[in-house]
Chain A
Amino acid sequence: MANLRELRTRVSSIKNIQRVTNAMQLVAAARMRRAQEAITSARPYAQQLDRVLQQLSGSVDPSSHPLFLDRGDARTVYVVVSSDRGLCGGFNTNVCRAGFGSVQADDSVVTVGRKARNFFGNRNVTVANDHADVFRELSFAQAVTIADDVKSRFLAGTVDRVFLVYNEFVSVATQQPVVEQLLPIVPKEVEGSNSEEYLFEPSPEVLLDTLVPRHVNFQVWRALLESNAGEQASRMRAMDNATKNAGELIEDLTREMNKERQASITLELMDIIGGAEAVA
């Protein structure tokens, strides 16, 4: 049996850990709420972007744009979105495994976040580029940088297909790793053409040229937002579990400590009684 002092130090160090995990949980909860709000505020833009595409598709075929061009699947690049920091449960492992499972011999990855960079750096996978430190201050400009990176690779013909691999924020309790095709853009069925007399300025073709890259930027932005909310939710749950575990450990150790203390008191009493009897 461990001695009393050792037990006491262990209990107090676990209490310190518990304080830290509890604080981390609260911070993650606050950040998650903010991340969820960001997803909601991106929605009007997404709806309007879809509307513009719908109006354009009446007068010009969107799939004539080079970013829609399907060259077969020879070389693929996977954009794997992970987090910069750990302590968030299986969040990074899940998304990295999902990406790793799809990578073939000729493929490469572009990593977002430190965790994916480390994961793929340690395996035999070509890391074409990495974007780290994106999530500390997430802004749309960062999504554009990542999107420009893959768009230029695609247009230059060094890659034929681009996939986004990220954790989708299904709910606070579930984050689902998804593998989505980013380029070439998968044409969406547009329902009902527009009957209104529309003016196009300058021309539908030029408008399409402006629209399509923005559509890609937005897809990347959405993946970043989903992943960010998922990371915080995952961290919140991991830290909640850690706090609970620490509580259980403290309880067990305290019980043991009390037993130990009682035993030593009994021993001392026996000594005193023994001494008193000897004197009498």
Chain B
Amino acid sequence: MATFQLDIVTPEKTIYSGDVEQVQAPGADGGFGVLARHQPMLAALAIGQVVFTQADGTNHKLAVSGGFANVSGDGMTVLAETAEMAQEIDIERARVARDRARSRLSDRGQVDMDRAQAALSRATWRLRTCGAE
């Protein structure tokens, strides 16, 4: 199968750079898949997981916290403020973050509901990506 260049970059470091066969990404308007020679596209990403398949058939998963996917003639770039490969996720920390977000959401007096909701969603996706639940 034809491959294309995928780069996943965050402000802290480049998470992945290499050839892949296909990528699935959580678009803001629903998930989408990208194969080689896709039409150029700029898409906003939601909090969720990116799955890509390398040429040798191995699958990799990462949890991303929103951002952009830029598909152009020379490949695809995922820009995210945070992105973690499944094997690098700190399960304990994600659990703590999820519980904290849940308790904030149940407290009605909170002003920052959107933020707590986003935190909950980030933590849940991190746990789901590394297969902890």
Contacts and interface: CB of A to CB of B under 8 A. Distances in A.
B70 A44 contact: no
Given A41-B14, A51-B70, A210 B44 contact: yes
A143 B70 CA distance: 24
Interface residues of B, number: 27
A197 interface: yes
Query: Which range contains the number of A residues in contact with the other chain?
Result: 20 to 34
Majority DSSP secondary structure for residues of B touching A: strand
Interface string A231-257: 000000000000000000000000000
A198 B42 contact: yes
A210 B11 contact: no
Contact of A217 (B7, B14, B27, B81): B81
A144 B81 contact: yes
A145 to B, nearest CB: 11
Contacts of A140: 10-12, 81-82
A218 B63 CA distance: 20
Interface of A: 38, 41-42, 44-45, 48-49, 51-52, 55-56, 139-141, 143-144, 196-202, 206-207, 210-211, 214, 217-218, 221
Interface of B: 7, 9-14, 27-29, 32, 39-44, 66-68, 70, 72-73, 77, 79, 81-82
16 contacts: A41-B14, A48-B70, A51-B70, A52-B42, A52-B79, A55-B42, A139-B12, A140-B10, A196-B40, A196-B73, A198-B40, A198-B41, A199-B39, A201-B44, A202-B29, A217-B81
